[in-house]
Structure 1
Amino acid sequence: MYAPLTILLLLVPAQPPDKPAPDTKAEAEEASAVAKKMTGEYAVQLGSAGKKLKLEPEPVLRWTNHLGRRFYGDVYVWTSDGRPEVIASVNNVFTTKRAAETEIQSLSTGRPVLSHDGKVVWEPDAPGVAFEPLPNAPKPGGTAANRLQQMRALAGQFAVTATYADDKKGEELRLLRAPIFRYASAAQGVTDGGLFAFTKGTDPDALLLIEARGKGDEVRWEYSFARLNGYCALRGTLKDAEVWRVEKQSHAVNTDPKRPYCCLRK
């Protein structure tokens, strides 16, 4: 006759074997390959009949987010005469299968146009950035090393808060202290420039451009913000004074190809 404890053990149903952990390295490699292929298929130019932009061959940033679903993002830029005009984060999400989306943001004072398979899929009807002078900023330095030091110090004076739900307090994003892309463009009057990212974890939600703009003795540091997430409200401050704010957007707005920020689903 079985002892009571033995009877209880016999009545417990067998547990299914643990589900194997996903191979995140393989997923990341697949995501990067997909992102490189997708960006290579896009044609980007300034204006409907304008200059073709150059796709920089390597991503300026790679990021991951494994909260629930597993996201892998590869961030690319297109440039004109060296200056970034368009940025795109190609995001691959893995659950039971892989899906991809591309977040696009204009960094241009003009009107970029993005096509795929000969069809225009994004043509914003407004510039993506508007530059403002940086108050009390030093005169841009005479060497690249000195200007980089200045840009990093200037970027550190800014902060960005993101609010992901209407009923929740916002959280401060993390500034990556090194620019994710460094550039200059004599043709556009940019002596030096840096593209900085504010991130949640490693996921960039807001962008800050700092550029030494102008000619001769009139060169000065200027800045502009841009969003890289449409599903949250973003607030930028300079030394605690608000200088930028964008609101959380609906899905219809975020997928509108006439907006400077657009999310393309595939």
Structure 2
Amino acid sequence: MPALIVVPARFGSTRLPGKPLLAIAGRTLLERVVSVARTTAALVGDCEVVVATDDERIADHATAIGTEAVMTPDSCDSGSSRACLAAQTRAAKPELVINLQGDAPFVPPAVVAGLVHTLREGRADVATPVYRLDWARLDRLRAHKRTAPFSGTTCVRATDGRALWFSKTILPAIRDETRLREAGSFSPVWQHLGLYGYRMAALEWFAATAQGDYETIEGLEQLRFLEAGHTIATVEVEPPSHAMSGIDTPQDLKLAEETIARLGDPFAAH
């Protein structure tokens, strides 16, 4: 089942213009994400990598680091829409598309590979990773949301791993929490990693369909699938050691370099 990893990379970030070309510990952000994509492709087989961008400077840099680039309109309203357009330009359409955001350099290749394997082996329309929060992580998430209520997404999932819902609110509400804390080290809360794998048909449906009501309210594009009855498989992964969801500000760049200095550079492992 042929797969394509698309790295959407826009130049025009409001808070950090040109961020795919900015360096983190000697490697550009784009170079780091492409390295994750290439390693994943080698792990899963029958998989290609392409950078989808709206800017010639990013396309030139992709070419310089040995990766194919495709130009997509700056009118694309999401990374998923940009990934869909990039996939549609292929001579032979892939059956699976992974949207590996161009500002997420710390995603382990094994996590991305897990999405490909899940889609190849199952029947879900979409696959996305989640990890279970221990009580300490849940406490930190609650504290963080006091100042940044729309940072961090939780997932409610069925016993077979199907996603039942995603929310910026911490779900589920926990009754008798003291007893549960005494009973085990893990909470019932799952946190979502913003990474998606799609069947091509599902991705094309998404790109052609207007936002759903709850998607608009929560600001979560995956709710468009759930509102319409599509199946999202959640893939359980280990909590990320490099706990950064993306690079959005100059402060994030500084924090990324500090994280690499403390925990080691994942680029070297690729």
* TM-score above 0.5: no
Indicate the structure with greater strand content: 1
- Structure of greater Rg: 1
Indicate the structure with greater helix content: 2
| Larger relative contact order (Cα-Cα within 8 Å, sequence gap ≥ 6) | 2
TM-score if structure 2 supplies the norm length?
0.30
TM-score if structure 1 supplies the norm length?
0.30
